[in-house]
Amino acid sequence: MKQDIAWCPGCGNFPIRAALEKVLKELPVPAKNIVLTSGIGQAAKMPHYLPYSYFNGLHGRSLPLAVGIKLARPDLTVIAVSGDGCHYGEGGNHFIHTIRRRLDITILVCDNKVYGLTKGQSSPTTDLGMKNALDPQGNLNTPFSPLVTALAAGAPFVARTFAGDAQHMEQVLRESILFRGPSVVDILQPCVSFNKVNTYAWYRERLYKLEEPPRDRQEAMRLAEIWGERIPIGVFWRDGQFVCREIRETFRRPVTEAAVAKLLDTKCIMMR
Ligand SMILES: Cc1ncc(C[n+]2csc(CCOP(=O)(O)OP(=O)(O)O)c2C)c(N)n1
Ligand code: SF4
């Protein structure tokens, strides 16, 4: 792609971009029917570097955009891709409630465990005690667990993959996009400039692959809580019984002038 990419050399976003591009190209979906949304951050630049339609919104707002697009155009393949700060911090509430809406949206999180764009402050997934420029004594907050939260909110597809393993990433991304329902993928993404702890080597020492998803949610939860000397990656939960929400025709009707006038009129009455 002939475009300057504003990521640092070695950033984990590069292999994620490559995997996503490969998977999207191979999808049995025309390119014009694929749309990406993102918020603000380094990861949120991802759609700029892919040849698909996108809506780049405010920080933390990739998911309301994705929901709006899906409701208006259920025929589109909608993928929201942003960072851990964007999806889990500023957009944390949207993360939970988008899962509850049972729409067919893929939520991809490039999780570098820091705020990359704003120079490495602690993010929701930063480990307790990790030092950075703004937390020289170490992060005082307990890390947010994305997979446990996604499972608790009822996500029918929950996975984790690693930017340093292209094959694993492609497999998990493909499966998450093809799954009909809200799917969550936490992608462990080294930030070579501001996260000197969770490096490619650090992950390679600890990661192990789940052979197949657990049979029940409780086991998925148990595995999702593991983070330490050993860290599982793979599909933690795939609900074969999940029923995606049918989008009623009413959502697809164009807004008429009469409907808007009626709404405005109602507002006036309420304000009096
Ligand atoms: C409402 C709002 N709050 C804060 C910011 C400043 N800001 C921009 S990007 C960012 C964090 C980005 O971190 P993350 O989402 O983890 O993405 P990364 O850059 O690490 O890929 C922050 C705090 C903003 N742009 N808008
Ligand atoms: S600061 Fe980190 S996340 Fe941002 S481009 Fe550089 S390596 Fe990637």
> Best mutation site among 45, 113, 115 for ligand 1, i.e. most ligand atoms within 8 A of its Cβ?
115
SS3 of 109, please?
strand
Q: How far is residue 156 from each of residues 54, 62, 70, 221, 233, measured CA to CA in Å?
A: 25, 20, 18, 13, 17
Strands 231-238 and 207-209: parallel
Residue nearest to atom 6 of ligand 2 (CA): 8
The mean pLDDT value for 240-244 works out to 95
The mean pLDDT value for 174-192 works out to 98
Q: Is the pLDDT of residue 82 over 70?
A: yes
> Given this model, what pLDDT does residue 266 score?
66
Residue type, 91: G
Give me the percent of the chain exceeding a pLDDT of 70.
Answer: 94
How does the average pLDDT of the chain come out, rounded?
A: 94
> Given this model, what pLDDT does residue 253 score?
66
Q: Band of the pLDDT at 139, cuts 50, 70, 90?
A: very high
Say what the pTM is.
0.93
> Given this model, what pLDDT does residue 53 score?
98
Residue nearest to atom 9 of ligand 1 (CA): 41
| DSSP characters over 171-208 | HHHHHHHHSSS-EEEEEE---TTT-SSS-HHHHHHHEE
Q: Band of the pLDDT at 83, cuts 50, 70, 90?
A: very high
> Given this model, what pLDDT does residue 272 score?
40
How far is residue 188 CA from its own chain's centroid? Answer: 11
Residue nearest to atom 22 of ligand 1 (CA): 118
> Given this model, what pLDDT does residue 15 score?
98
How far is residue 12 CA from its own chain's centroid? Answer: 15
* Ligand 1 near 59 CB (within 6 A): yes
The mean pLDDT value for 7-16 works out to 98
Q: Is the pLDDT of residue 171 over 90?
A: yes
Q: Tell me whether residue 21 is exposed, middle or buried, using C-beta atoms within 10 angstroms of its C-beta: 0 to 12, 13 to 18, 19 or more.
A: middle
Q: Band of the pLDDT at 250, cuts 50, 70, 90?
A: low
Strands 34-38 and 77-83: parallel
| Nearest-atom index, ligand 1, CA of 84 | 16
